[in-house]
Structure 1
């Protein structure tokens, strides 16, 4: 029987400096997802898929995808990218090569600039960073006073839509904009559509 990476991940979850909820795994969905991705539980990605429906990190700010859970999709390929997480503002994390033949790294599509940024971390290093406190600094520019309670009240399949949006000059101060929960898939789609219109994608 192969050795799973899940005990390492569970230890990080237990010691995380912010709240982390492990959504229960659906064995059938997890097995289907693992099979589609052709990975094993020796890898960190495979372990997350097999042992959780996803991880809800820091009051729900970050949703790390696993095998799938009610309202939260499993890890899947979208537009040629292996999407592994979303944040509540509609940001996307994808694991893909920076160029053909290169080793895959995590890339982030930010709602504040509508571009993909190579974080230059493999999946395991990225997840470890997110679970050990790096998320706070990484997301600082998109947070506002009292965000914790507001984000905690948003369902896993929802994100927070801001108007004016964070990629505009008027929307940079998230404390001063209008914010409301909308379906996460819709929020992500709006960001990508605007990025295409602006010629960023």
Structure 2
């Protein structure tokens, strides 16, 4: 689908600040170098996030999208798009969820390089092509479709638990989400852990099950400590 000739940010900002959106925009301190170096267009959702935000929290904080360098906070922040990614990986990590699920845009790692959004799920330990671009995905989450997208991966009262997390933390569930024993989730053990450890644990688990690391391999690089 061709890009709109207009900047994406005004429409995204309008959607994110709507009363029903359940979203929060982290102020930006420094535009992502990705925007400056690659010539990323402001007509794209990724370009809009890179230039105008220090990250975005969707679905009451369950989903965290990366942007430019966020304004200083009293606690750990989100990594910028630059900090979260490795050049030449063919897999552009654009966000994470509190269970360690990873969102990435295909830059060649899936042999299509079509810019579609893919999701590495913590329960299947595998990639799913969402068959949509980033802007479409954001719009769907802002319209409340996160409830059906995460059906079976939430528990009663999850909002309160997510609200207590730092931006560099996720929720580890035991029994593991890839097992039937984890259900119902209300009875599972849940605790806050560093997000980098959670993603690495999920990748290691997938490697043990399949005998080799996932291809492409999801990763999470946290933001450096605030000076």
TM over 0.5: yes
**Structure 1: how far apart are the matches of 2:34 and 2:19?**
26
Compared with structure 1, are the counterparts of its residues 68 and 187 closer, same or farther at alpha carbon in structure 2 (3 Å cutoff)?
farther
| Matched pairs, number | 198
**Would you tell me which structure has more helix in proportion to its own residues?**
1
Give the superposed CA RMSD.
2.0
* 1:167 alignment counterpart: 178
Compared with structure 1, are the counterparts of its residues 10 and 175 closer, same or farther at alpha carbon in structure 2 (3 Å cutoff)?
same
Compared with structure 1, are the counterparts of its residues 37 and 140 closer, same or farther at alpha carbon in structure 2 (3 Å cutoff)?
farther
Q: How does 1:175-186 map to 2 (within 5 A)?
A: 175-186=186-197
Q: How does 1:4-83 map to 2 (within 5 A)?
A: 4-15=7-18, 17-27=20-30, 30-69=31-70, 70-75=76-81, 76-78=84-86, 79-83=89-93
Compared with structure 1, are the counterparts of its residues 186 and 99 closer, same or farther at alpha carbon in structure 2 (3 Å cutoff)?
closer
- 1:23 is displaced (CA, Å) by 0.4
**Structure 2: how far apart are the matches of 1:139 and 1:44?**
22
Deviations 1:115-162 (A, max 9, x none): 001110012211211222111210121100111111111111110011
Contact kept? 1:60, 1:156, Cα under 8 Å:
no
Gaps in structure 2 of 5+ consecutive residues = 71-75, 215-227
Compared with structure 1, are the counterparts of its residues 87 and 37 closer, same or farther at alpha carbon in structure 2 (3 Å cutoff)?
farther
Compared with structure 1, are the counterparts of its residues 175 and 42 closer, same or farther at alpha carbon in structure 2 (3 Å cutoff)?
same
**Structure 1: how far apart are the matches of 2:122 and 2:32?**
32
Contact kept? 2:125, 2:202, Cα under 8 Å:
yes
Contact kept? 1:33, 1:74, Cα under 8 Å:
no
Which consecutive segments of 4 or more residues in structure 1 shift more than 6 A? none
Three-state SS of the structure 1 residue aligned to 2:186 is coil
**Structure 2: how far apart are the matches of 1:18 and 1:165?**
31
**Structure 1: how far apart are the matches of 2:104 and 2:32?**
21
Q: Which moved more, 1:49-58 or 1:167-176?
A: 167-176
In the superposition, the TM-score normalised over structure 2's length comes to 0.80
* 1:95 alignment counterpart: 105
Gaps in structure 1 of 5+ consecutive residues = none
In the superposition, the TM-score normalised over structure 1's length comes to 0.90
**Structure 1: how far apart are the matches of 2:144 and 2:167?**
21
Q: Which moved more, 1:93-102 or 1:166-175?
A: 93-102
**Structure 2: how far apart are the matches of 1:173 and 1:145?**
10
- 1:18 is displaced (CA, Å) by 4.1
- 1:102 is displaced (CA, Å) by 4.6
